[in-house]
Amino acid sequence: MDVPVDWTAVRERVIAVKEAGRRAVGLGPSPYPLFETALTPAEIAEVETQYGAELPGEYRSFLAEVGAGGPGPEHALTSLRRIDGSWGWVADDDEEHPWLPDTGGPFVETEGWAEWQLATLRAAGHEPAARDGDCDYLPDYRKAFGAAGDELWHLERGRGAVQIGDNGCGATGWLVLVGPRRGELRHRDCAVNPPYEPFVDAQGRPHTFGTWYLEWLERCEREVREAGLGATGC
């Protein structure tokens, strides 16, 4: 999955697309930077040390060459920031609630999630009741872990992955950090327990961070060329 990506001029291309969109509605250039500052090799090493996992290569090079956050599919990328000495992923500038990924185990696909939950509950000495059709074993997590049950349930659901983007309307994008699908992307809709759906390209191949981001950028540029109205959908 760690395929080299040429990020040359990507930052400038994204800025050009966004400025075209602003011109289309009568606005001038944004007074605020679109991208956060790129990370240094030392900062990236800090992140990897903190989480005990190497970031997928395409995302790692994006952080170093383009920025630690900014525009992206479909709305925006989450920003990787150091907050009070620790690194976390921040959406919508909400530094009070950063995503701190659990890299203690591999990412588990939706179809394997119920068995994962059963193992956690039984290891805690709790024999689950019948599986709930909407939220798997969330009621049992509440019984087994009390007030911490909901948070643990949600953290384990995203184990081995990080929320990488805001896809709009409550939907989110996820980058797999640990396990056999490391480097791939997943889409998750908004609900109590929506499935993780693979992002795939036009040929049905799983997207990596690089193919996902560049496909979005190329679509935005095509909209600008063809409509002449700015990338209103980007």
Domains of the chain: 10-107+158-227 (3.40.1580.10)
pLDDT at 168: 82
Give the CA count within 13 Å in the CB-facing half-sphere of 207: 22
pLDDT at 21: 86
pLDDT at 228: 66
Long-range residue pairs from 23-27, CB within 8 A, at least 24 positions apart, any chain:
23/230, 24/229, 24/230, 24/232, 25/230
Q: What is the dihedral angle through the alpha carbons of 227, 168, 54, 179, rounded to the nearest 10 degrees?
A: -110
pLDDT at 169: 84
pLDDT at 155: 87
List, run by run, the mean pLDDT of 10-residue segments along the chain (234 residues): 84 94 87 95 98 97 98 93 96 93 93 92 94 90 95 91 90 95 94 87 93 95 77 55
